[in-house]
Chain A
Amino acid sequence: GQSLEQPSEVTAVEGAIVQINCTYQTSGFYGLSWYQQHDGGAPTFLSYNALDGLEETGRFSSFLSRSDSYGYLLLQELQMKDSASYFCAPSGSARQLTFGSGTQLTVLP
């Protein structure tokens, strides 16, 4: 079967670092993607990990451990504009993604 777990809500202050964890179970696995969605907006792609380890893109980093079926998104130097929903999305096939319910991140001044 398939399952996906990530926290429903996270709150942090401006300038802080926050980590959003994701554990997954899929029948097949190609990689783990992360998407950001602001209220009223469309999801936008942040990162993709196919191999174990850390991928860094500016203030955002994403980590994957295939053996643990676990990944996380790390957001550094938080800004107010980072308040959004963040979705981890494992690829159970070459083309498809499975989206969870997402994590609502609130950044406080």
Chain B
Amino acid sequence: DVKVTQSSRYLVKRTGEKVFLECVQDMDHENMFWYRQDPGLGLRLIYFSYDVKMKEKGDIPEGYSVSREKKERFSLILESASTNQTSMYLCASSLGQGGQPQHFGDGTRLSIL
């Protein structure tokens, strides 16, 4: 079974802090994704990566950056956290192209105070 592990289930940070969310997958998947999920808005794509050191902006990249130094690890960085970044963050990975399923981690519920 594919395992996508997010480093924290719950996280509380303060406004202006630099925040790192880590995600690791164990199935040698090429593609990795970061989403945020808010009530009534569904899942929105922040960034994705289809190879090491490659990244592509999703629909809402503002205020975020990412890092993919190793194939199995994809990090989401909030450069200067703000209260409107309080959300559930979901990491996913998938293999190849053409409708391959995305496998999700359990999510990190991030609160910015």
Binding site for B on A (CB under 8 A): 30-31, 33, 35, 41-45, 48, 50, 87, 91, 94-102
Which B residues from 73 to 97 make CB contacts under 8 A with A?
90, 92, 94, 97
Q: Which of B35, B42, B99 contacts A33 (CB 8 A)?
A: B99
Q: Which of A42, A43, A50 contacts B99 (CB 8 A)?
A: A50
* Total of A-B residue pairs, C-beta within 8 Å: 54
Number of chain B residues whose Cβ lies closer than 8 Å to a Cβ of chain A:
26
Which B residues from 8 to 51 make CB contacts under 8 A with A?
31, 33, 35, 40-45, 48, 50
CB neighbours of A91 from chain B (8 A)? 99
CB neighbours of B41 from chain A (8 A)? 101
With A42-B105, A44-B104, A45-B103 as known contacts, state yes or no: A31 contacts B43, CB within 8 Å.
no
